Each structure stands twice: as C-alpha cells, then as structure tokens.
Chains A and B, each alone.
Chain A
C-alpha cells in the first residue's frame, strides 16, 4: 500500500493544464529523431518511382476522371458478376436436381411417409439447394474482384472522392468505407463502423448501412433485373442492361443514404461533422492468385454456412406453414390473404410481403420463400430454366412494376435479423435498434407506394 500512496502523491504533483504542450514537444522530438535516422539510413535512388502512387492519384482522384472511373469500376464488377454467374448457377441447379432424384428414390424405397419427404426434400433440401445455386456463383465472382480492388488500395480513394458529399450530409468521411463493407454483409459492416470514432457519426453510419445491398440481396436484384428489365434484349446487351439496372439501384441506395444522413443530422442526430484524417496508402499490386483464392474460399464457406444455418430451417418452416390447413386454406395462405390489400397498394402482392416478413432472419431466403409460396404444393420447383421461373411470376400477375417495386423494397427495407442483433450489441440501445428497423421500413413503404400509385395513375401498367 505504501507504493500506492507514493504514486498517488506523485501524480497529484503534476500540473494538468499543459498536457497538450508536453505532448507536442514529446512527439515533435520523436519525429525530429525519426527524420534524423531516416536521413542517415535511407537513400532514395529514384524520386520518379517514389511518387508513382501520387501520379496514379492524379488520375483516380482527378476532377474530371475521378467519378467516371469510380462508376466504371462499379459497372465492370457488376457486369463480370452477372455475365460470369449464369452458367455455374444453372450447372449447380441441375446438379442439385440430379441429387434430389436419387434422394426421392431412396425415400420411396424405404416407404418413408409423404410428409417426411415433403419436409426434408421439398422444404429443407430444395430451399438450401436454391440458395446455394443462386447465391454462390455471383458471390464467388463479386468478392474476389472486390478484394482485388481493396488490396490494390483503391477504397480509400473512393472515400477521398466522396468525402465532400458525406461532409455536406453531416456524416463521417469514413462512412464510405463502412458502406463498402456493406456490399458484403451489413451485419459485418455494423461492426466495421468502429473505425468511426465520433458516436454521432457512427450512429449515422449504422442507421444507413442497410441501404447498401448486401450479399443476400444481390441475387434478388440481379435476377429480377435480368428477368424483367432486360428481357427485351439478348446476349451481351442483356447483361449490360441488367448490370446498369443493378448499378442504378446501388446509386439510388447511396442517394438515400446521403439524404437520410442529412435529415438525421438536422433532427435526431444534430451536430457538425467531427474532425477526421484519412490516410491514402500507396497503391500496391495485390497478390492476384492469392487474393482471388482466399476471397473465393472465404465467401464460399460463408454462403454455405448461411445456407445451412438460415435457409434450411426457413425452407422447413415455409413448407410446414404451406401444408397445415385451417379450414380449406393453409396457414401460409391465410397470412398472404391478410397482407394482400396492403401489399397491392405498394405494387407488390401478399406473397411478396409474406416472403420479406418470414425472410427477416436472412435476405437470401426471401426469393426461395416467395417461390415456395407461389407453387401450390408449397415447395420449390427446380429452377434450371430461367423462363420457367419468369413464367411462375407472370402467372401470378407480375408486371415490370411488381419487379421494380420488389427490387426497391429489397434495397430499402429493414435490415436482416443478424444485422439488427449486431446493431443492438453495438449500440446497447433499444431505441436506436428500433429506429434502424423503422426508418428503412418507412422509406421502403413510402417509395414503393409512390412509385406504384404514380405508375398506375399515369396508366403505365
């Protein structure tokens, strides 16, 4: 205890008012010594090469080319993803169909009851298989390409280019980095907002992260865009149109992010942007093969895990709801009929809204649930053929407006269960967690309602 008392007395004797000055002279001297050491031990043989990164910055962050290059990069990534994912997707789909044939035969051979076959094969297996075949290929292309850009050092330049916009909307410049994380997974992006030190701006980043479409929503956007928006085109042009529509959605998400940030900065989260510094590390040629392999592997494991943990149980649940009857209508249908009038006002239908609600745990299961709902048996058909898939939608009375509004709803609606849970963990606040659910939902409802009413009033559908 003697030591403690002495320490106490010692700390009491130090004046607290000149701390910043002490720090300034300490760090000043540290850097002086560092410069001295560098002068002695470092020789620069080629000034030209030393500043290569800065010359690249003159292009990547140029007044004229900065934004076009950013958009072009985004467009190219989408194009590659959409163009590359088609073939492997249908291959996976046929592969799972082939396995299913054997599984069904096995069930028949042991005279398993119909309901067991229904739950396990038509619910669990098909749900999981669908998620894997639709999600895995695009994710296994998108993320390696994205990781290449990230490891090259391009992302901080995006933050540099866009900073002014975020500042104007009262948000932190590093929010563009957390948004970039959101492309992968909003739940992970919520954790990454820790890089924003100011609590106010961090909350803005948390509340708006959902407007960046994640992993689980890409396939929905891509699929609907290619089936309904790009249907009139063929070949390469079709892919191009799909990519443009998806990119439009992403840009809309960014506009909504900035608008919501701005509004919150003027109301619930009043304040001016806090100070910040942004490092622009030198461009580094990534280890291409290494990066691709690692990102592909990481994403594959991630998608497969999600498929098993979330998609499988959701498949089972949906099958059960669709096959238990109250009166002569299934529970699922009762629910759908209840939602239908409201959903119609939003340009959707009861099934779609039901799929979004049951899909709360994870966005990747929204489409599979929707399809299960549409098919009378309450289970999924094999979707080897995209025309067959579109036929299912058209039979249910879908128009381009339905597709557009489902895309909009998907982009804007509440975050998935995992993300909400992370928001609660990070904010420890019921109020903010609720708001992060309510704000996007209100926007999603409002936007789809306006689009639907406008399109109908103008006689476009």
Chain B
C-alpha cells in the first residue's frame, strides 16, 4: 500500500484546514455510520474546533458539524486541500 505514504489521515490536518477524503479505512458498522454522515470518498470536510481537553475534534461535513475522537479520525485518509 504505497498510497498510504502519500495520503495523510484526518487527525493530521490542522484546525481550519480543508481535507479531501479518499479512503475510509474502517470496516463494519462504524464505517456505515460515518458514510451516512457524509464522510465519503470525494467529500471535502473542514477541521473546525478541538474540545477543551484536546479531543474530540469537530468537523464540518455535508453542511453539519460532527465530532470524532482521534481513534476514528486516524482511520480516515485523504489530502489536505491547498487554501
């Protein structure tokens, strides 16, 4: 999987950055839930705000705001978009 070397995971993106999802590296129920919320390949999401204790982090996705813990955001791969 060379691809992984080029791609970053979502947790690496900084606050305020826009991120293009290419791969959701999760199986089963959580994957289905994330897909339903708009974390789909091809979607551009924006990193909004960290919780006061640093984790979780909120993201703007499909016109809504969803918070994910680090464990999940590390499994969503893609690229930070140039601003």
For A23, what are the chain B residues with a Cβ–Cβ distance below 8 Å?
31-32, 35
Tally of contacts, chain A with chain B, CB under 8 A:
101
Q: Which residues of B34-72 have CB atoms within 8 Å of chain A's CB atoms?
A: 34-38, 40-43, 48-56, 58, 60, 62-69, 71-72
Given A57-B48, A277-B33, A24:B65 Cβ within 8 A: no
Main secondary structure on chain B at its contact with chain A? mixed
The residue of chain B having its C-beta at the shortest distance from the C-beta of A30 within the complex is: B40
Which chain A positions have C-beta within 8 A of B54? 164
A182 within 8 A of B: no
A276 to chain B, nearest CB (A): 7
The size of the chain B interface, using a CB distance under 8 A, is 38
Q: Which of A58-66, A301-309, A416-424 is the contact stretch? A: A58-66
Complex Cα distance, B33 from A272, in Å, reads 19
> Is the CB of A53 closer than 8 A to any CB of chain B?
yes
Would you call B62 and A277 a contact (CB within 8 A)? no
Closest-by-CB residue of A relative to B54 is: A164
Other-chain contact of A280, B27, B33, B58, B72 (Cβ < 8 Å): B58
CA of A278 to CA of B59, assembled, Å: 10
Please tell me if B30 contacts chain A, counting CB pairs below 8 Å: yes
In Å, the complex CA distance between A9 and B33 comes to 30
Q: Which residues of A lie under 8 Å from residue B34 when comparing CB positions?
A: 277
Are B51 and A31 in contact (CB-based, < 8 A)?
no
A124-138 interface bits toward B, Cβ cutoff 8 Å, 1 = contact, 0 = none: 000000000000000
Cβ–Cβ contact B52 & A31, under 8 A: no
A241 nearest CB across to chain B (Å): 28
A111 to B59, CA, bound (A): 75
Contact indicator A57/B38 (Cβ below 8 Å) = no
Interface size on A, residues (CB 8 A): 36
Q: How far is the CA of A165 from the CA of B52 in the complex (A)?
A: 11
B28 at the interface (CB under 8 A from A): yes
Among B24, B48, B53, B62, residue most surrounded by chain A Cβ atoms (within 10 Å): B53
Say whether A61 contacts B53, CB under 8 Å.
no
Say yes or no: B51 contacts A61, CB within 8 Å: yes
Q: Are B41 and A24 in contact (CB under 8 A)?
A: yes
Partner of A279, one of B30, B41, B55, B64: B64
Chain B residue at minimal CB-CB distance from A272: B71
Complex contacts, B64 vs chain A, CB 8 Å: 279, 281
Measured between beta carbons, the chain A residues less than 8 angstroms from B32 are 20, 23
Q: Which residues in A have their C-beta under 8 angstroms from that of B51? A: 61, 66, 160-161, 163-164
* Complex contact A61–B52 (CB within 8 A): yes
Q: Mark A259-289, 1 if CB is under 8 A from B, else 0.
A: 0000000000000010111111110000000
- Taken together as a complex, chains A and B put the C-alpha atoms of A282 and B64 apart, in Å, by 8
Judge whether A58 and B49 touch: CB under 8 Å.
yes
Chain A residue contacts of B52, Cβ below 8 A: 61-64, 66-67, 161
Q: A23-B35, A280-B66 are in contact. Are A31 and B40 (CB under 8 A)?
A: yes
User: Which B residues fall within an 8 A CB radius of A?
Assistant: 24, 26-28, 30-38, 40-43, 48-56, 58, 60, 62-69, 71-72
A residues engaging B (CB < 8 A)? 20, 23-24, 27-28, 31-32, 34-35, 38, 53-54, 57-58, 61-64, 66-67, 160-161, 163-165, 167, 173, 273, 275-282
- 8 intermolecular pairs with C-beta atoms under 8 Å apart: A24-B35, A28-B35, A61-B51, A275-B72, A278-B66, A279-B65, A280-B66, A281-B65
The 4 A-B pairs at the shortest CB distance, nearest first, are namely: A164-B53, A66-B52, A27-B35, A280-B65
